[in-house]
A and B are shown apart, each in its own frame.
Chain A
Amino acid sequence: MYKNYTKNPCVPRRHLHQIWLIMRLMTMILLLGIMQVSASTFAQSITLKKDNASLKTIFSEIKKQTGYSILYRSDIIDNARLVSVNLKNVPLSESLDKILKDQNLLFTIEDKTVVIRKKEIGFFENIIRHLKAIDVTGRVLDEDGNPIPGVTIAVKQTKQAMTSDASGYFTLKNVDPENKILISFIGYEKKELQAAANLGDIHLKLSIQQLMDVTVNAGYYSVKDQERTGSITKVSADQIARQPVNNVLQALQANVAGVVITQNTGVPGGGFKVQIRGRNSIQQGNNPFYIVDGVPFTSTAVASTRAQFITPDPSPLASINPNDIESIEVLKDADATAIYGSRGANGVVLITTKKGKPGQTKATISFAQGISRVAQRLDLMNTTQYLQMRNEAFANDKVTPAANQYDVNGTWGANSNTDWQKELIGGVAPSTNVQASISGGTKNVQYLIGANYYREGTVFPGNNSYARPSGNFNLQYASEDQKFHAQFAANYSQINSNLFNTDLTSSILLPPNYPALLDQNGALNWGNGTLFLNPLAITKRLFTSKTNNLISNLLMSYEFTKGLNLKVSAGYTTMNRADYNNQPLSTINPSLNPTTASRLAYFGYNTIDTWIAEPQITYDRKIGPGRLNALVGTTFQNSLTNGQTVSGSGYTSDALLQNIASASLLSVTERQYLQYRYTAVFGRLNYIMNDKYILNATARRDGSSRFGSASQFANFGAVGAAWIISQEKFLKENVPFISFAKLRGSYGITGNDQIADYGYLELWNTNTQTYQAISTISPSQISNPNYGWEINKKLEAAIELGFLQDRFNLSAGYYSNRSSSQLVLTSLAPSTGFSSIQDNLPAKVGNTGWEFELSSKNIDTKNFKWSTSVNLTIPKNELLAYPGLATSADAVNYALGQPLSILKTYHTPLDPQTGLLTLEDYNKNGAQDDGDRYITQFKGRKYYGGIENTLSYKGITLDFLIQVVNQTGASFLSSLTNAPGVFNLGTPLINQPVSAFDRWQKPGDVTQFQKFSTTGAANLAYFYAKNQGDLAVSDASFVSLKNISLSYQLPQGFVKRVGLNNAKLYLQGQNVLILTNYKGLSPETQTLANLPALQVFSAGLQITF
């Protein structure tokens, strides 16, 4: 049944034709461009004799002799007169004078290029101007008188340009005083001045119409925000810098419409769930595609299994210092993502690091000190309440406590009362963040060198820490003629963590009268064989982890002729992680009679190396009433994941555990080797007509080694269009209060290849276990060679409006995505020997939604400013088709017409007679089965958004971000381990919330919770109710003050007096306040297994020299 789909999972044939048509067209256009220009190098004097020759032939002869390129528009030359010349060793410019004498043409020589133009001004006049040339100097300042570096100062007529230095100064040489000087800088209004030797202080006003100038990075190309046809949201360095976070993903939370980012754990280095425009894939592969400076960045970090106990799915982005990031662009619709083809289905996150800017060398140093802590608490029982519950349970069951029920039989005492939340996760973690950078450069070379040290303590007991020193380096070079550009960026970081390998959060459920975990001597207390769990044992097992990460990228481009660029981007990233974990004998319960064999040490080492090469050609040219932009390129990428964990045992002493050579037995407990290769050809055609109508077409043909050879390649593409209505006369004249209006839409196809490598092979794995000291192998996977790409078709329509000179900006968008040919691990009956197999499922998942973004400048005076930006997303996820769902293993997980994130539950009413929760036999077949799980409960977001306000008065800026989420989720009861009253000696995580006292006590009682009981039957009834019944899902909506930041820019006068350029003091808070009805530790993580996201407060100082 699947075969029909898997055989041809790609784009319909019709689309394939279109894509090839586009490719051919692009090639033709590029070639036409190439034909017009040619270049060579030789002498600078001309010897030439021609009669009635065309200018074309003469020019080509001059090129041959001099090596100078000659640029001209063919239409000018074609209409020129024929020329007769006779030159002998005449210098170039003199020769050109003679050749062009009777033509209406003039020439200029710049470097090694001769540009031929139509004569507009007399040649003589031109000479005079040259004689009158002056040097123009000046200084650019903002409205407050602060210098603005990096401002472009250009001569309007000649395009000669320069940028201001760190103090705002500039000098333009040899300027014709008749010319106009243009001063422009992103975010400021343009200024045009008459050239003069000294322009003095030039004050630039902040532009209201910022939208016009903002450029957005779209990956292979960049686009002016105004001319954008796709859905791209940009998050700036400013927005990131305001937040005291250790992972940049935290800073994106609540800031981007359509993007859900949830933090899995408050432990630094932990993972995040990132979903752009909902869940497309039923089972897996919902990660967006990350790109750092043009190089694909892994979305799953390398780490040994043991390293994932405390931070499951650690976030690789933890290796990147958020301060090094200049901007993050989130690409959402088909128009923006289709150029990434098979990897664009779940959106693309582009991270661009900071670069040097021309100007005087600028040094910035900042220092911040902060504290983090767990802000929320569970309302758990104290000893009196706990014992009351237990005794009532025994009374209900009419039994007496057995000898090993230590909590009630007096062994643990009725008087001790420990607050395990305070003991185990109640610490205050200090954090330190030091950042230094130097940047500057000239017109041709710019550089940036930065260093950062970040260290965070822990809220767990002890002084363990997580530290990340990092450095970044960026060098940009442009040749004198600005034709050749090169850029090298490198970012290196090292994470050193010695946090232990287990999260202590779930241990807060220890009974309140559980004995002290350490004895008077500070040794682990095992209560003479009465304690089977001592969470502090973990803290005495050394776990160190060192992660090195290097991201490097080299970008070179050469402009062959105006508009035609050859570009090569090459990148290499490598991440390696060394984990060490041990188990000293002294940390094992002595009553288990551990032997030297229990002394264990694990040495894990994992690497992932990726290289990528992407040669590209871009072409930019005015054609007809508009401008054409074309791009073709190819990708070659190779990734290799390699690693193993070796365990050593048979140590003779705890002191030797760190030496692998001291182990008498070594075995490889984990081994991983994954190669991934990926290749593609891609292209883009963009045409902007009359600055009003924009058409953008992108296409990609992809091949991935993750698929069997029959289905390795597929085609992807998209078309986007925009109409800038505000450029139309009728709107300009009739509706003056609308300053900007644009309609845009896109449709296209992207894909997803986020599955395990080698799924198409039948493989055997070498076992950790030997047999008679000879290695053994076992089947590790069964094969299915036929599966292909998951396909995601995206449709989007949006309107963008600006009112009153863009003081208010509103954008509203609707998207509708359809994901089909789902890549799934189809569940297999365990009797097949395996639990699943890779396959395509002809199911369809739809994601639709509305996204709104609003920004306004509420107050905009010289001293007081107040601006607000709001984003709101209303998503809808729906399973549209799933052939054979009713008879599949997924029947209990999903339902047609419902979101993927549902939980089917039993109805579990309390029996008022027995006091136990029951399961309703809905299908009346006398047995408990999946047919009884008839209630569909939604777990997910109904709407979410963020509201950010920025208020500034003179040098003081207050910024706060409020996150609003309306959602349902796993109730906190579902992460409790046992029913109220049950005792478990082996894992005594049995304390209960005080709310459990709303329990059944006597026949007839109708309560939320069942009676206290110690029995297995009660435990099972409670298990179903809290995991798959009425108690499983609860409201988890929240409003949180996600971030608050207060900064004070020290007065310029004072700053200057102490020899600085700038100085800023700031106070920042993250996860400051949360309002919610959710009873657990965090409505975000909805679990007790992991530490919730921490509350952070930080104070810092930033100075610039």
Chain B
Amino acid sequence: MKKINNKVTYILLMLLCFNFSCKKFLEIGPPADKITTSQVFENDQIATSAVTGVYAKMALAGFASGNQNSVSSLCGLSADEFISYGLPLDNFFKNDIPVIDDNTRQLWASAYSFIYASNAILAGLPSSIGVTQATRNQLQGEALFIRAFNYFYLVNLYGPVPLNLTPDYTVNNVASRTPVNDVYKQIIADLVAAEGLLTDPYVSTERIRPNKAAAEALLARCYLYNKDWVNAEKYASLVIGKTTTYSLVSDLNAVFKKNSTEAIWQLMPTANTNSLDGATFILTVTPYNVSLTNNFFNNAFEANDKRKTNWVGVYTNTTGTYYYPFKYKVQNSTTVTEYSMVLRLAEQFLIRAEARANQTNLSGAIDDIDVIRNRAGIPLIRTINPAIGQSALLTAVQQERRVELFTEWGHRWLDLKRSAQASTILAPLKGSTWQATDVLYPIPADEISRNHNITQNAGY
């Protein structure tokens, strides 16, 4: 009987051991093709690849990509630049966007996925041991910049938005919408911090990762949008002053080339491809996504504006004549000559012109606007109208922004909105589908159904 007892004990022990060894058997570690968050901050190279991962994704798809679903296309439709050729882009052209529209969902979700990545990087960097101080500063600066850049578009397209500053989904999933002013406060705080962390020289040989000047350029824009003319002028001047790095490209056909001297920040497209803007907008067949409105082609430009001939393409076939943005020259090629231009010097001159005009520094404003007009080959204001009044000058700046920055990053749409001219200009063009509330896009339906603290914009 003793023997039996022994054996029973032995088997029971074995069963107990089984439980322990099983626990061991189930330890499989992370998958071979992925890494865990702690591994991301092991050294400079991998931490850097997390930041450049955001740029790669921005260039590929979503609001920043330059394809027909990006802000360049959709805001161009919402404003008076593009016409559409069928659904679903019609919804934007007619300013009649359903809450279930997939494009607005993509705009929203892509911006927030980049915000998540920057929040995760900002959360992980401080505790990392393997990342050197210099790289840490650089990456923190870039992550803050990315977050600010994304919130800039969210707040402009949607108004108050949830301001998520942590990667913790349990917090973010129940966040409410933050007032526009507070979002801007955070954007400016992030950019000021980024400006302090980033250096003037680019970290690589190309202009495809934000540097100090990129933070300053975006700050100038944000201050302008908030009518802080002093700071807008200050930061635009900081960028314009860096003349050894930045200068206008005299040949209009070379402005959007990669690493052009006008570029403050460009996004590098996927390997072996050029910027998606060229592929999206250049017409070689009857348009089926978008083309420039005839009104824009016929009426926007002054006579002899070189931008009309260099930056607008014409395609004619049996069905008619169509116009398209021709700033990017390459539709499709494996030879990469063009990157996607995000921030460029010309805008800084126009920002400073507007800021100076608003501070009644009319002469300074004329100087700045004439830099742009000069390149476009049209008469300088200094020459034709040196005594121009403040309000006429501000109108001239708006007009100059329209023809300089058309179909880039939704500038026209945002300008119409911030100058409160959207209804005045768009209502006659769009007809009955235009409503004053259309200046804000609808919050995507699934955002509202999944987070009950989010309210819908008026009019949807």
CA distance A593 to B313 in the complex (A): 16
A834 within 8 A of B: yes
B57–A593 CB distance below 8 A: no
Give every chain A residue within 8 A of B295 (Cβ-Cβ): none
A773 within 8 A of B: yes
Q: Which residue of B26, B167, B172, B449 is within 8 Å of A889 (Cβ)?
A: B449
Chain A min CB distance to B128 (Å):
14
Give every chain A residue within 8 A of B112 (Cβ-Cβ): 830-833
CA distance A411 to B446 in the complex (A): 42
Chain B min CB distance to A403 (Å):
4
Give every chain A residue within 8 A of B451 (Cβ-Cβ): 829, 831
B272–A763 CB distance below 8 A: no
Q: Which residue of A664, A674, A831 is within 8 Å of B447 (Cβ)?
A: A831
Interface residues of A in 623-681 (CB under 8 A from B): 634, 636, 642, 649-650, 664-665, 667, 671-679, 681
Q: On chain B, which size bracket covers the interface? A: 35 or more
Question: Contacts A598-B332, A779-B116 given; 14 further ones with Cβ under 8 A?
Answer: A28-B8, A35-B3, A403-B319, A529-B317, A595-B333, A763-B35, A764-B34, A766-B33, A769-B57, A776-B50, A829-B446, A830-B447, A832-B164, A892-B449
Given the interface pairs A703-B23, A763-B34, A776-B52, the reply to whether A771 lies near B446 with Cβ below 8 Å is no
A-B contact pairs, 21 of them (CB 8 A): A34-B7, A592-B285, A649-B272, A676-B28, A677-B26, A701-B19, A703-B26, A758-B34, A763-B35, A764-B36, A765-B33, A767-B56, A776-B55, A777-B40, A782-B167, A829-B451, A830-B444, A830-B446, A833-B112, A833-B172, A1016-B91
A777–B46 CB distance below 8 A: yes
CA distance A578 to B404 in the complex (A): 51
CA distance A675 to B29 in the complex (A): 9
B332–A677 CB distance below 8 A: no
A593–B37 CB distance below 8 A: no
Give every chain B residue within 8 A of A596 (Cβ-Cβ): 334
A858 within 8 A of B: no
CA distance A779 to B332 in the complex (A): 30
B98 within 8 A of A: yes
CA distance A769 to B35 in the complex (A): 17
Chain B min CB distance to A974 (Å):
15
Give every chain A residue within 8 A of B130 (Cβ-Cβ): none
B60 within 8 A of A: yes
A778–B285 CB distance below 8 A: no
CA distance A892 to B100 in the complex (A): 14
B36–A761 CB distance below 8 A: yes
CA distance A673 to B28 in the complex (A): 12
A675–B31 CB distance below 8 A: yes
A31–B271 CB distance below 8 A: no
Q: Which residue of B56, B162, B447 is within 8 Å of A776 (Cβ)?
A: B56
| CB-nearest residue of chain B to A776 | B53
Interface residues of B in 14-60 (CB under 8 A from A): 15, 18-19, 22-23, 25-28, 30-37, 39-40, 46, 49-50, 52-57, 59-60
Residues 422-460 of B, flagged 1 when their CB comes within 8 A of A and 0 if not, give 000000000000000000000010110111101010001
Interface residues of B in 80-124 (CB under 8 A from A): 85-87, 90-91, 94, 96, 98-99, 105, 108-109, 112-113, 115-117, 119-120
Interface residues of A in 676-735 (CB under 8 A from B): 676-679, 681, 701, 703-705, 709, 712-713
| CB-nearest residue of chain B to A644 | B33
| CB-nearest residue of chain B to A986 | B288
| CB-nearest residue of chain B to A409 | B319
B105–A830 CB distance below 8 A: yes
A591 within 8 A of B: yes
Q: Which residue of B53, B108, B285 is within 8 Å of A591 (Cβ)?
A: B285
Residues 817-854 of A, flagged 1 when their CB comes within 8 A of B and 0 if not, give 00000000001111111110100000000000000000
B270 within 8 A of A: yes
A597 within 8 A of B: yes
B208 within 8 A of A: yes
Counting from the closest, the 10 A-B pairs by CB-CB distance are: A833-B116, A776-B53, A829-B451, A771-B52, A403-B319, A769-B56, A830-B109, A591-B285, A673-B33, A889-B450
B332–A593 CB distance below 8 A: yes
| CB-nearest residue of chain A to B267 | A771
A985 within 8 A of B: yes
Give the B-binding residues of A (Cβ under 8 A): 23-24, 27-28, 31-32, 34-35, 403-404, 529-530, 532, 589, 591-598, 634, 636, 642, 649-650, 664-665, 667, 671-679, 681, 701, 703-705, 709, 712-713, 757-758, 761-767, 769-780, 782, 827-835, 837, 887, 889, 891-892, 927-930, 982-986, 1016-1017, 1019-1020
Give every chain B residue within 8 A of A776 (Cβ-Cβ): 49-50, 52-53, 55-56
A828–B173 CB distance below 8 A: yes
Give every chain B residue within 8 A of A983 (Cβ-Cβ): 86
B343 within 8 A of A: no
Give every chain B residue within 8 A of A636 (Cβ-Cβ): 25
CA distance A589 to B208 in the complex (A): 33
B26–A704 CB distance below 8 A: yes
Give the A-binding residues of B (Cβ under 8 A): 3-4, 7-8, 11-12, 15, 18-19, 22-23, 25-28, 30-37, 39-40, 46, 49-50, 52-57, 59-60, 85-87, 90-91, 94, 96, 98-99, 105, 108-109, 112-113, 115-117, 119-120, 161-162, 164, 167, 169, 172-173, 175, 204, 206, 208, 268, 270-273, 284-286, 288, 317, 319-320, 331-334, 444, 446-447, 449-452, 454, 456, 460
Give every chain B residue within 8 A of A763 (Cβ-Cβ): 30-31, 34-37
Given the interface pairs A529-B285, A829-B451, the reply to whether A984 lies near B86 with Cβ below 8 Å is yes
Given the interface pairs A32-B4, A404-B319, A769-B60, the reply to whether A650 lies near B272 with Cβ below 8 Å is yes
A778–B288 CB distance below 8 A: no
A1016–B90 CB distance below 8 A: yes
Chain B min CB distance to A707 (Å):
9
A597–B332 CB distance below 8 A: yes
A773–B271 CB distance below 8 A: yes
CA distance A778 to B172 in the complex (A): 19
CA distance A881 to B325 in the complex (A): 56
Give every chain A residue within 8 A of B49 (Cβ-Cβ): 771, 774-777
Give every chain A residue within 8 A of B268 (Cβ-Cβ): 771-772
Chain A min CB distance to B127 (Å):
14
A831–B288 CB distance below 8 A: no
B116–A832 CB distance below 8 A: yes
Given the interface pairs A677-B26, A769-B56, the reply to whether A829 lies near B172 with Cβ below 8 Å is yes
| CB-nearest residue of chain B to A781 | B34
Q: Which residue of B7, B32, B35, B87 is within 8 Å of A764 (Cβ)?
A: B35
B53–A834 CB distance below 8 A: no
Give every chain A residue within 8 A of B108 (Cβ-Cβ): 830-831
CA distance A985 to B289 in the complex (A): 10
B450–A828 CB distance below 8 A: yes
CA distance A589 to B447 in the complex (A): 38
Give every chain A residue within 8 A of B273 (Cβ-Cβ): 597
Give every chain A residue within 8 A of B164 (Cβ-Cβ): 831-833
Give every chain B residue within 8 A of A1016 (Cβ-Cβ): 87, 90-91, 94, 96
Give every chain B residue within 8 A of A675 (Cβ-Cβ): 28, 31
CA distance A677 to B28 in the complex (A): 7
| CB-nearest residue of chain B to A829 | B451
B334–A23 CB distance below 8 A: no
| CB-nearest residue of chain B to A892 | B449
Give every chain B residue within 8 A of A28 (Cβ-Cβ): 8
CA distance A595 to B334 in the complex (A): 8
Give every chain A residue within 8 A of B173 (Cβ-Cβ): 828-829, 832
Chain B min CB distance to A770 (Å):
6
Give every chain A residue within 8 A of B46 (Cβ-Cβ): 777
CA distance A866 to B70 in the complex (A): 69
Given the interface pairs A771-B55, A772-B204, A832-B173, the reply to whether A677 lies near B334 with Cβ below 8 Å is no
Q: Which residue of A591, A766, A774 is within 8 Å of B284 (Cβ)?
A: A591
CA distance A403 to B268 in the complex (A): 37
CA distance A889 to B268 in the complex (A): 37
CA distance A985 to B319 in the complex (A): 14
**Best-surrounded residue of A32, A773, A927 (most CB of chain B within 10 A):** A927
A757–B40 CB distance below 8 A: no
